[in-house]
Structure 1
Amino acid sequence: ATGIEEHNNYAQDFIGACEDIKRELPHELISGGVSNVSFSFRGNDPVREAIHAVFLYYAIRNGMDMGIVNAGQLAIYDDLPAELRDAVEDVILNRRDDGTERLLDLAEKYRGSKTDEAANAQQAEWRSWDVKKRLEYSLVKGITEFIEQDTEEARQQASRPIEVIEGPLMDGMNVVGDLFGEGKMFLPQVVKSARVMKQAVAYLEPFIEASKEKGSSNGKMVIATVKGDVHDIGKNIVGVVLQCNNYEIVDLGVMVPAEKILRTAREVKAALIGLNGLIPP
């Protein structure tokens, strides 16, 4: 969107090149600088973030493996206002000759204080939603400010504390997973969502422990995040749920080599081994 006609197809050419490279050289990895696509709108962060989100959505779907972009300024594709998303797509995909002019006309609407006012209005609105929807929103947006307050409200409504994890919290993480799988959320945003989930689970753990049924053990299980990976949110959730069902959990933590996992399983006579692995560092 530089206003120079020869530049109009640059983004679409890159997206097409990603598809061609992956088809001809399927094991090659592709990276690209994303901020250059939006440089013409420097000073208008909402429009730049929309351009980044749309460009990444199409580039990733066509084979781009890594984008160089400010991870703290990434919008979620589905959360973009429809008129802004459509205008940006017209520019990125070069769908119409007057795309740049239309985006320029629209850009002023999203500059500065008007966007701040809209964001404040949205925050006031979502805090009035049902607690299950508030938990989902916090997870998708990576908001920790209200997570313990909302988790407690959900616990008060549930028959057992574990139901908060199995219900609204997992429902929210499923939304995050779907958005990530569709290329509408990106890894830095998923990491923020995982931190929110971890905080909610940590809040519930004392209540879950207190509500555990006393009785015979269903057996021991060794769980660990494999060597090469530092992520533990999935492992921690599995551990909490199984503990509630009278399994004795031996948690070895993260970055655990296979030899240690097998040795521990033999030593404690574990009935099960659970392995967690997401993305290597």
Structure 2
Amino acid sequence: MILRLSGLEALNITPEFGFAVIGERTNITGSPKFSKLILGGDFDGALAVARQQVQGGANLLDVNMDEGMIDSEAAMIRFLNLIGSEPEIARIPIVIDSSKWSVIEAGLKCLQGKAVVNSISLKNGEEDFLRQARLIRRYGAATIVMAFDEQGQADNFQRKIDICARAYGLLSKHANFSGSDIIFDPNILTVATGLEEHRNYAVDFIEATRWIKNNLPGARVSGGVSNISFSFRGNNTVREAMHAAFLFHAIRAGLDMGIVNAGQLAVYEEIEPELRERVEDVLLNRRDDATERLVDFAENVKAKDKTRVPDEAWRAEPVEGRLKHALVKGITDYIDTDTEEARQKCKRPLDVIEGPLMAGMSVVGDLFGSGKMFLPQVVKSARVMKKAVAYLMPFMEAEKSAGAKPQGRIVMATVKGDVHDIGKNIVGVVLQCNNYDVLDLGVMVPAAKILETAREKKADVIGLSGLITPSLDEMVHVAQEMEREGFRLPLLIGGATTSRAHTAVKIAPHYGASTVHVLDASRAVGVVNSLLNEELKPQFDKKTREE
């Protein structure tokens, strides 16, 4: 079967066509440059980015305007209309990329030819899935289907193929889709994180791709390629090698297209042999120490000319410096000894956490944010932190049993539609260490469940977390529900896509009580302390409004 798409020109994707490149840089959530241009109103500059993707070899162009601080529908319409006036860009098909159906539909109304929708899923059940699919069919587009259902994102081979098979059956039987207009995205997830459960992610995607091509007639397979290498953000040499090696194996399994940075793909055969071996050890899960070996290589690439400090020289530093070094380097060998020494110097065991341990984790966060640390190293740092906290817990429990009462009860949750919880978990640990009673409801939690628990457990604070853009809308919904049901508890907002500005402009107006953005775990305790202190709260609220 032929997948027939078009901009001003036809694009027929056949088995002989080869791999189709979907240009990724016109995505406000994935390209800082493009985001800055759109937020600044520089649509001419944004068009130049699109033009560069076409000139770089993109066969299709992915356009995403999911940003909480702009009118995404208006931005999508304006940008697509501008593209339509540029024949060099408009000649290739557009992939309308959004997590909001209203934005997708607004985009579909702007386009001539045959576009691709990115994406729909079974996240909200079959009825919503089929409603959107039938509209896509009416607009004459093909669609990408994410391997995501009511239980969340598919993260292993069996879940991927089960969801894709179910979606294929629904689309073909109930939405009049031909197999060639169905493009599955079985979720390219990040490998080399340092977590055991992530080791087979690339293999699972490749094998799911092979299964789809063999069992779902006509269906195509796509994916966001750069996700695979997020662990090595900041090291383009390693990332480009990972992309090239991953594509080499995935295309052989049947991958038809992928969202990549057109013009910046490395050639598989030209990857340095040692780097290629280490990359493939990670991607194909061939060695237990594959991640460590690739991290070592990446560090050498990042710092070829730097002189390394002798391995044990840091042991001569004061204990605060040793704890920071252990956290940054992920060293657990001396953590109990050093934590005990720090405890002896502090008045309370909690002071060790709030002092040198949090200071060390702040350094880790800064290094990761600037691309100078990689995700597997951050995971190792978190393990060091966890070990130090575990050592201190008996001492803190002894303090509690001596008469300390919990300072307050906090209900925390990652909102509905979002499966990410690393940041939330760290905040929870820090609050628990500060004698707060934390009720963590986990991920993908509906608003009704959050509010029901808060009411039943007599919570003092509600904390919401989310990593992806749709979570921002869900947080607004939770705030609206809290207002409707008469809650007056402080509402904390946190997560990678959240910001102080978005919280103030988009969330706070819907809720009549304190609504505060929390930047990271190190600030959570101070915020909660202020909100639950009757003397400090008025001044804190005033300062928050002014900022």
Q: Do Structure 1 and Structure 2 share a fold, with TM-score over 0.5? A: yes
Q: Residues 1-281 of structure 1 correspond to what in structure 2 (within 5 A)?
A: 22=31, 23=34, 24=49, 27=64, 31=226, 33-34=240-241, 39-40=271-272, 42=274, 71-72=291-292, 73-74=294-295, 81=303, 83=305, 122-212=310-400, 214=403, 218-226=407-415, 227-231=418-422, 232-241=425-434, 243=435, 247=436, 249-252=437-440, 254-255=442-443, 257-258=445-446, 259-277=448-466
Secondary structure of residue in 2 paired with 1:214: coil
Amino acid at match of 1:262: L
For residues 270 and 19 of structure 1, do their structure 2 counterparts lie closer, same or farther at Cα, with a shift above 3 Å needed? closer
- Quote the offset at 1:175 in angstroms: 0.4
Q: How many residues align?
A: 203
For residues 154 and 269 of structure 1, do their structure 2 counterparts lie closer, same or farther at Cα, with a shift above 3 Å needed? same
Per residue, is there more strand in 1 or in 2?
2
- Quote the offset at 1:74 in angstroms: 2.0
**Identical columns (%):** 44
Structure 1: any 5+ residue segments left out of the alignment?
Answer: 1-16, 50-69, 85-117
- Quote the offset at 1:149 in angstroms: 1.8
Amino acid at match of 1:203: Y
CA contact (8 A) 1:139 1:176 kept: yes
CA contact (8 A) 1:176 1:193 kept: yes
Q: Whole-Å Cα distance in 2 between the matches of residues 238 and 277 of structure 1?
A: 18
CA contact (8 A) 1:179 1:185 kept: yes
Amino acid at match of 2:357: L
For residues 20 and 234 of structure 1, do their structure 2 counterparts lie closer, same or farther at Cα, with a shift above 3 Å needed? same
- Quote the offset at 1:239 in angstroms: 2.1
CA contact (8 A) 2:428 2:440 kept: no
User: What TM-score comes out, normalization by structure 1 length?
Assistant: 0.59
For residues 136 and 277 of structure 1, do their structure 2 counterparts lie closer, same or farther at Cα, with a shift above 3 Å needed? farther
Amino acid at match of 2:427: G
- Structure 1 residues 109-138: Cα deviation after superposition (integer angstroms, max 9, x where no partner): xxxxxxxxx97x722212222111111111
For residues 183 and 163 of structure 1, do their structure 2 counterparts lie closer, same or farther at Cα, with a shift above 3 Å needed? same
Amino acid at match of 2:274: R
- Which structure exhibits the higher relative contact order, with contacts defined as CA atoms closer than 8 Å and separated by 6 or more residues? 1
- Quote the offset at 1:220 in angstroms: 2.3
Amino acid at match of 2:305: E
CA contact (8 A) 2:428 2:438 kept: no
- Structure 1 residues 8-55: Cα deviation after superposition (integer angstroms, max 9, x where no partner): xxxxxxxxx987984425748662532677944739x9xx99xxxxxx
Q: Whole-Å Cα distance in 2 between the matches of residues 264 and 137 of structure 1?
A: 40
For residues 82 and 39 of structure 1, do their structure 2 counterparts lie closer, same or farther at Cα, with a shift above 3 Å needed? closer
- Structure 1 residues 148-170: Cα deviation after superposition (integer angstroms, max 9, x where no partner): 22111111111110011100000
- Structure 1 residues 57-109: Cα deviation after superposition (integer angstroms, max 9, x where no partner): xxxxxxxxxxxxx642225769965625xxxxxxxxxxxxxxxxxxxxxxxxx
Per residue, is there more helix in 1 or in 2?
1
CA contact (8 A) 2:328 2:363 kept: yes
For residues 132 and 215 of structure 1, do their structure 2 counterparts lie closer, same or farther at Cα, with a shift above 3 Å needed? closer
For residues 159 and 256 of structure 1, do their structure 2 counterparts lie closer, same or farther at Cα, with a shift above 3 Å needed? farther
Calculate the aligned-residue CA RMSD, in Å. 3.8
- Quote the offset at 1:210 in angstroms: 1.4
Q: Whole-Å Cα distance in 2 between the matches of residues 206 and 261 of structure 1?
A: 30
CA contact (8 A) 1:223 1:239 kept: no
For residues 139 and 39 of structure 1, do their structure 2 counterparts lie closer, same or farther at Cα, with a shift above 3 Å needed? same
For residues 216 and 136 of structure 1, do their structure 2 counterparts lie closer, same or farther at Cα, with a shift above 3 Å needed? closer
Structure 2: any 5+ residue segments left out of the alignment?
Answer: 1-22, 35-48, 51-62, 65-96, 98-223, 227-238, 245-265, 280-289, 469-494, 496-547
Q: Whole-Å Cα distance in 2 between the matches of residues 136 and 207 of structure 1?
A: 21
Please say which of residues 29-38 and 230-239 is displaced more in the overlay.
29-38
Secondary structure of residue in 2 paired with 1:169: helix
CA contact (8 A) 1:147 1:196 kept: yes
Counterpart for residue 91 of structure 1: none
Q: Whole-Å Cα distance in 1 between the matches of residues 396 and 328 of structure 2?
A: 24
Between structure 1 and structure 2, the one with the greater Rg is 2
User: What TM-score comes out, normalization by structure 2 length?
Assistant: 0.32
